[in-house]
Amino acid sequence: MRLSVERKPVKVYPDTKRVIARFFFNGEERAVELIKKILAMDRERVFGLVSPLLQDFSKRHRSITKKLLRHCERVRVDIERAGADYETLDEYTKLLIGAYFTHEYSIESAAFFNPSIVADPDQTNLEEGQLRVIISFRAVGEGHVSSVVFRRAIIDRQNNITVTPAGNYIDEAEKIHNLIYHKRQFLRKAKEEDINGEFLDIVDKRLGDRFDYDQLKALIMEVKQDTKDPKIIRQYNMILSLSDSYRRISFSKDTDISDRVIFPISDFEIKGIEDARFVRFTDDNGRIIYYATYTAYDGVHIMPKLLKTTDFYEFKTSPLHGEGARNKNLALFPRKINGKYAMLSRIDGWNNYLMYSDNINEWDEPIKIQSPEYSWELVQIGNCGSPIETESGWLVITHAVGPMRRYSIGASLLDINNPEKEIGRLKDPLIVPNPDEREGYVPNVVYSCGSIIHNDELIIPYGLSDHSSGFVTVNLKTLLDRLTSGG
């Protein structure tokens, strides 16, 4: 018999008006010809085109002139090929060129789903029994490109949820390359991605134990000149993309959390940043760090990656290494266990695994701890976010796939000191798609990337058939009693 859950009336829907201004490029030949036509315009014509553009799009983007000038800078080489000196161009010409190399991208136009939830670092000005939370979502736009977006919400003492409306603007982060790479880790990940072995030997011989992005890029550009093999050149481009997987990104301090989007930057994630599982992690010194595991996807390769922040303004990203980091569905425990980091994974696509590590970026020796058992989970079982510590053990919300590829949400309980040991598992799903939830971008799916406990209830935000997101609550004691008594 299924446990009783309460579906909250609040829903979070995609908003097609939430757009970002992205660089738009149709190839070098077309770019040069386009720029020549712009350069042929007189100053009055240029101003007459730019002025209404700025009036129109400044209502849709913060600092639109800054974005247009940045995109103009990106075609500097093409401007010079068109016969102009970039430095002597007036600002209005630069703005117009930038506008022709810009397009709007609606980040939530296709789907909005797979939320995770953590306590906000800011808990000021709240009433007793309230909790401020940050909810991350997977947003999908044109071309099925996924990004990470955020909303803020307040949970009151009755666990009613009020989601703060999103702001009027949304901004990508600035991209800042990491200054230093550790050669051992870099080479290991490159080998896992089947990157050209001869070049990796050159890196090993010519670069030190630590090197920066500029040193790596200079070496790649040097050796690329020695080959015309498109396969090898593609490999070198992949190496640059891999190096771009280590980066620091920052958002302006005058942005609301809903204004920030983590959009794919490197080639390794050009098709999407999928299913971020945020967790509030407490380190050995009691410091709070927010981590998120996510899947970077380039259309062919899957690369599990780690996101780190303390304030949701500054983020650091890095790839995850090892035989346990070879598929989707990684979820970090909120603290170390017996002195080691712990992680859930689903390396084979259909069973749950547990891993321990001294290094948060390296994951080896996965241990299978769960396999599909009941009819509603026979296709696969995986986690729905990081385990939650309770007095009875580690509460793991799971997703499961059954007949007709219907996704359900279940729950398991693992031993607090030895999470390899399963204490209990629900025999029936906790949440299944009801008639109002089964239609969407991907039908018959309920899915979550992280839950939270507040006021003696488990609160699960969940995606509704990849279209929108909702919330359910369940009494924590009732759930734990069921899990400890045999499901």
Per-residue pLDDT tens for 391-444? 999 999 999 999 999 999 999 999 999 999 999 999 999 999 999 999 988 999
Query: Following DSSP, what letter does each residue of 279-340 receive, concatenated?
Result: EEEE-TTS-EEEEEEEEEE-SS-EEEEEEEESSSSEEEEEE-BSTTSSSS--EE-SS-BTTB
- Mapping DSSP to helix (H, G, I), strand (E, B) and coil, where does residue 202 land? helix
Contact 353, 346 (CB under 8 A): yes
Q: How far apart are CA 72 and CA 95, in angstroms?
A: 7
Contact 70, 120 (CB under 8 A): no
Q: How far apart are CA 275 and CA 298, in angstroms?
A: 15
In this prediction, residue 322 carries a pLDDT of 87
364 membership: H or E segment, kind and range? none
Q: How far apart are CA 240 and CA 213, in angstroms?
A: 9
Intra-chain end-to-end CA distance of the chain, in Å: 9
Q: How far apart are CA 349 and CA 352, in angstroms?
A: 9
- Mapping DSSP to helix (H, G, I), strand (E, B) and coil, where does residue 111 land? strand
Q: How many CB atoms lie within 10 A of CB 361?
A: 18
List the beta bridge partners of residue 431. 409
* Spans of the chain, pLDDT less than 70: 177-179, 241-242, 244-245, 267, 487
What pTM was computed for the model? Answer: 0.89
Given the DSSP bridges, would you call strands 407-414 and 352-357 parallel, antiparallel or unpaired? unpaired
Contact 465, 437 (CB under 8 A): yes
Query: Following DSSP, what letter does each residue of 399-455 receive, concatenated?
Result: EEE-GGG-EEEEEEEE-SS-TTSEEEE-SS-SB---TTTS-SSSSS-EE-S--EEET
Residues in contact with 370: Cβ distance below 8 Å, sequence separation at least 6, in sequence order: 351, 352, 381, 398, 412, 422, 425
Contact 19, 487 (CB under 8 A): no
Task: Report the number of secondary-structure helices (H) and strands (E) in the chain.
Answer: 10, 30
Burial 215-235 (b: 16+ CB within 10 A, else e): ebeebbeebbeeeeeeebeeb
- What is the chain's percent helix, strand, coil content, to nearest 5? 25, 35, 40
Where are the alpha helices (H) located in 161-212, listed in sequence order?
A: 183-192, 197-206
Contact 377, 408 (CB under 8 A): yes
What CA–CA distances, in Å, run from 60 to 53, 224, 430, 459?
11, 41, 41, 34
Q: How many CB atoms lie within 10 A of CB 359?
A: 12
Contact 122, 75 (CB under 8 A): no
Length of the chain: 487
